[in-house]
Structure 1
Amino acid sequence: MPNRIVTRDEWLAARIDLLKEEKELTRRSDELARRRQALPWVTVEKQYRFDTDEGVASLTDLFRGRSQLLIYHFMFGPDYTAGCPSCSAIADGFNGFVVHLAHHDVTLAAVSRAPLAALQAYKKRMGWTFPWASCFGSDFNFDFGVSITLQQQRAGAFEYNYRCPYYKPHLPLTRRIWQAGAIVLAKGVRRWIHLYCLGVPRVAAMKSSGA
Structure 2
Amino acid sequence: MTAHITGTREDWLAARLELLEAEKELTRRSDALAQRRQALPWVRVDKDYRLETDEGTASLVDLFRGRSQLLVYHFMFGPDFAAGCPSCSMIADGFNGFAVHLANHDVMLWAVSRAPLAKLQAYKRRMGWTFPWASSFAGDFNADFNVWFTEEQQREGDVDYNYRREAAFVWRPGQEGGGEGAEAKIAAMCGTDTATFHRDRPGMSAFVLEDGAVYHTYSTYARGLDGLWGAYQWLDRAPRGRNETGVWWRRHDEYDKPEKSVGAPCCGRTGT
Q: TM-score with structure 1 length normalisation?
A: 0.91
Q: 2:217 aligns with which of 173, 176, 195?
A: 195
Aligned to 2:151: 150
Amino acid at match of 1:135: S
Secondary structure class of the residue paired with 2:81: coil
Relative distance call for 1:93 and 1:116 in structure 2 (3 A) is same
Amino acid at match of 1:188: E
Is the contact between residue 160 and residue 166 of structure 1 (CA under 8 Å) also seen in structure 2? no
Q: Which runs of 5+ in 2 are unaligned?
A: 178-193, 234-272
Aligned to 1:115: 116
Structure 1 residues 125-144: aligned runs within 5 Å: 125-144=126-145
Aligned to 1:186: 208
Aligned to 2:24: 23
Secondary structure class of the residue paired with 2:58: strand
Q: CA offset at residue 166 of structure 1?
A: 6.1
CA distance in 2, matches of 1:169, 1:14: 48
Is the contact between residue 115 and residue 136 of structure 1 (CA under 8 Å) also seen in structure 2? yes
Compute the RMSD of aligned alpha carbons: 2.0
CA distance in 1, matches of 2:33, 2:228: 12
Relative distance call for 1:167 and 1:62 in structure 2 (3 A) is farther
Relative distance call for 1:74 and 1:167 in structure 2 (3 A) is farther
Relative distance call for 1:34 and 1:125 in structure 2 (3 A) is same
Secondary structure class of the residue paired with 2:19: helix
CA distance in 1, matches of 2:207, 2:146: 15
Is the contact between residue 148 and residue 158 of structure 1 (CA under 8 Å) also seen in structure 2? yes
Amino acid at match of 1:183: S
Deviation per CA, 1:157-185, whole angstroms, max 9, x where unpaired? Answer: 22111111266658939536100111011
Secondary structure class of the residue paired with 2:26: helix
Is the contact between residue 155 and residue 169 of structure 2 (CA under 8 Å) also seen in structure 1? no
Q: CA offset at residue 45 of structure 1?
A: 1.0
CA distance in 2, matches of 1:56, 1:115: 12
Is the contact between residue 159 and residue 166 of structure 1 (CA under 8 Å) also seen in structure 2? no
Q: Percent identity?
A: 58
Relative distance call for 1:113 and 1:24 in structure 2 (3 A) is same
Secondary structure class of the residue paired with 1:148: coil
Secondary structure class of the residue paired with 2:34: helix
CA distance in 2, matches of 1:168, 1:18: 42
Structure 1 residues 1-211: aligned runs within 5 Å: 2-165=3-166, 172=177, 175=196, 177-206=199-228, 208=230
Structure with more of its chain in strand, by fraction: 1
Secondary structure class of the residue paired with 1:192: strand
